[in-house]
Amino acid sequence: MTQAPQTGAVDSRFHPGRTVQSVPRRLRLPRRELLVIALLCCLGLFALMRVLAMQPYLDATWRVERAAAVELLSSPLPALQGLTGAHLERISGRDGQTLDVDSGLLHRSPRWSVDDATRQQQLDAQRRLSSMLEQGRLSLQFADGRAVALEPKKRGLAGLGLLFWLLAGCALALGLVTAAVLMAHPHWRNVPYAAMSLCQGANLLAIGIETLPGLGLPLAYAQHGLFARMAFDLCSAAAMVHLATLQPLRLPSGRWIASATWGGCALLLGLAARQALPQVWWWAQAGMIGCGALTLLLMSWSYRLEPNPFALLMRRLAGAATVTLLLLSAAVAVASWHEDIAQAEASFSSVIWHLFLTTLILLLPMFSRVQPLMRELAMLAGTSSVATSLNLLFAATFALGTFASLSLSVFFALAVYAGTRRWLLQPMSGQHVPGAERMFERLYRVLREVEARPRDSAELLTRLLRDLFEPLEVQMLDRPSTRSRVLGDGSALLVPLPTIDADHERGTDGSIVLRFAERGKRMFSRDDARLTDRVVEQLRRAVAYDKAVERGRSEERARIAQDLHDDIGARLLTLMYKAQTPEMEDYIRHTLKDLKTLTRGLASSDQRLSHATAEWKTDIAQRLSAAQIELSWTFTFDRDIVLGVVQWSALTRVLRELVSNAIQHSCATHLEISASLEGGRLRLSLADDGIGRNPQDWSHGLGLGGVRKRVKLLGGDVQWRENGRAGIVCTVLVPDLHPRQ
């Protein structure tokens, strides 16, 4: 077993992740609690939508022309239907307060305004408009001199807009995933992930409020929305750094790194709240990008300490989010220098980036278990973020037309997608995947070995899994499991061991835990679990097939032995009693002994070598005594192995045939039999002092040919040579007399 690098101060227990010491039998989420949390989240979201639905607004669609004039496109209000195409110049409230209208009134996201003065003007305009809407009747004055008096109406649920519902759904999904993670793994190391997820969900709701149709935002959001958006962004970034210090590996000095990061973000927010931080947008973007870069460094450090593929995945996901944020920030900064580029385009690009970040946060705790389609959707969101950022950058830098900049940005985004897709998803697919032919060849070879040695199925399965996945660590567990499953975040795979008992074909003898596939460069996935389940099932079938075949052979041998004993044995016994000469009676008596040996070999089960040796010695001693031949017997062995039926039968027949030859042809007075078994190597020798000479000139008939055939069946060899001045020595050598499995 290969062990991971050891670092004295490092605690490598992560949640979810390291589950080798204590593997849960099954991951069970408390459905009732999840249902309660889901209902609470839905109620909270409904309450927010109810508050938004009660807010007054002007139901009309506007656009900004290049001269920064606000043009009316359409409106369901009867008073505005005849003013389509007119430019709105001023809005007056009931208390006589007036608001000069410009393009900044339609820019709902001051968070992405680079210039401090421009941002402050936008905030003042939104606050004044929200205040006038709450007072009631408004007067809209257009550039052509026409004026219209309107009574703002409540927005209603239908006035929230499709984009708000989409963003609210994403925020709800983040809340549910966070609750599931915390309940499945209630550990404080998951708190940073929960903080990051909840901040991002709140950010999506804030973005949804900014995308509400018509004119007018809730007054509370107009007053505090900018600070809330900045706080959500910086807290998400700090939580990401904090998470990197804890998972998948608790890093040395991680507590101080996380504390410093949270302290820096709190300092930025404190200065921003007091309006004591000039160029606040640049500081906020620098803080987020700096946290992303720090996360990359921490993940690289974690991977060097322990080659966990989850750290590799987190590093690449954090890198993708940081690079796209850097590209978006550069595009927004360049676009702010060009007044002819609408700030709404920058806001739309930021929305796409936040959706991309949302998909990454959603997939992070279950990246190894989601379907490939979900991962492709995340890649699509990242590609869209790159495309919108490049479109904004090309339009600002090269002064291209809308179609040209869009086409060029899509082309480059697709090129980035094609170039980075394999790199980003490599922790899921790995460096190399064995082909189907090679995998089938490995499986076939292991299946054949399992059929020959079913008790070694655990060792053979472990060897096959090492060849397939190249894990850094392999651990055997006594706890059985019913199926293969990915543990934690994909860093480990639990595989059941197939049983060797054919009567319990669906059982297991334990489990194998593989950690860090491809030497820590790949995560385990559901496809790997399905593959190992099929491999284990094939091993189960191979073991069951071997047992069934052996059982069938035993039953058939027992039936044949019974038939021989009842039929042929009875007839030979009758013939022996009716024999007319003593020689015929003796011949039939020896035939009955041979038949007894044959039937016993067919009907007997496996037996130990010590028992077989005692029986061989007794039988040979009786035969030699009848022939007036002296016996010397020596048999040593280093372990008492279990002989199979084939092995026992072959050795019995070889000894019987060689002793018969000595009795009938050698005219010997002494026969020495010696045997030894050491390390599975069997050496058997029979030496007589008879008249036999020149064994190389013998014609090998059925007797000697049968000896050669049976020794060869055992994987050995037999030789005859002269025994000094008188007699013959026969040596049988079996290099590997392995015990019966």
Q: What are the tens digits of pLDDT across the range 89-145?
A: 888 888 778 888 887 788 877 888 888 888 888 888 888 888 888 888 888 898 888
DSSP assigned state of 28: -
Measured CA to CA, the distance from residue 688 to residue 663 in angstroms comes to: 10
End-to-end CA distance of the chain: 25
A 10 A CB-CB count for 65 gives 11
> Do residues 200 and 254 lie in contact, with contact meaning Cβ atoms separated by under 8 Å?
no
Q: Give the integer Cα–Cα distance in Å for 739 and 645.
A: 11
R_g of the chain computed on alpha carbons: 43
pLDDT band at 30 (very low <50, low <70, confident <90, very high): low
Tell me the percentage of the chain whose pLDDT exceeds 90: 17
Look at residue 25 in the predicted model and tell me its pLDDT. 37
12 by DSSP, 3-state: which? coil
Q: Nearest 5°: CA angle at 76, between 73 and 78?
A: 105
What type of residue is 7? T
Report residue 546's pLDDT band, with 50, 70 and 90 as the boundaries: low
* Amino acid at the residue 570: A
The Cα 509–Cα 501 span in angstroms is 9
Residue 11 confidence class, pLDDT cut points 50, 70, 90:
very low
The Cα 473–Cα 12 span in angstroms is: 14
**230 Cβ contact partners less than 8 Å away, ≥ 6 residues apart:** 111, 269, 272, 280, 284
- pLDDT-derived band of residue 496, with 50, 70 and 90 as boundaries? confident
Detail the DSSP E strand segments found in 549-626: 607-608
Lowest-pLDDT range, 14-23, 442-451, 632-641?
14-23
736's tokens = 């590997």
Q: Which helix (DSSP H) or strand (DSSP E) does residue 493 occupy? A: strand 492-498
In the chain, CATH 3.30.450 covers 436-548
Is residue 248 reached through a cis peptide bond, with omega within 30 degrees of 0 on the bond before it?
A: yes
Helix (H) or strand (E) holding 674: strand 670-678
> What percentage of the chain reaches a pLDDT higher than 70?
78
Residue 99 has a pLDDT of 87
pLDDT at 517: 80
With beta carbons less than 8 A apart as the criterion, state whether 446 and 539 touch.
yes
State how far Cα 707 lies from the chain centre.
56
When pLDDT is cut at 50, 70 and 90, the band that residue 233 belongs to is very high
What is the reported pLDDT for 10? Answer: 32
Looking at residue 615, its pLDDT comes to: 84
Cβ contacts of 549 within 8 Å, gap of 6 or more: none
283 pLDDT more than 60: yes
Domain with CATH 3.30.565.10 in the chain: 608-741
pTM of the complete model beyond 0.75 = no
Residues 215 and 105: their CA atoms lie apart, in Å, by 8
Residue 403 identity: F
Q: Does the domain made of 436-548 have the CATH classification 3.40.50?
A: no
Per-residue pLDDT at 9 exceeds 70 = no
- Cα of 496 vs its chain's centroid, Å: 16
Tokens for 449, please give them: 């070995």
CATH code for the structural domain at 608-741: 3.30.565.10
Let me know if 274 is exposed, middle or buried by CB neighbors in 10 A (0-12, 13-18, 19+): exposed
Most confident listed range (377-386, 417-426, 573-582): 377-386
Alpha-carbon distance of 598 to 560, in angstroms, equals 10
Give the C-alpha distances (Å, rounded to integers) separating 291 from 45, 243, 608. Answer: 30, 11, 70
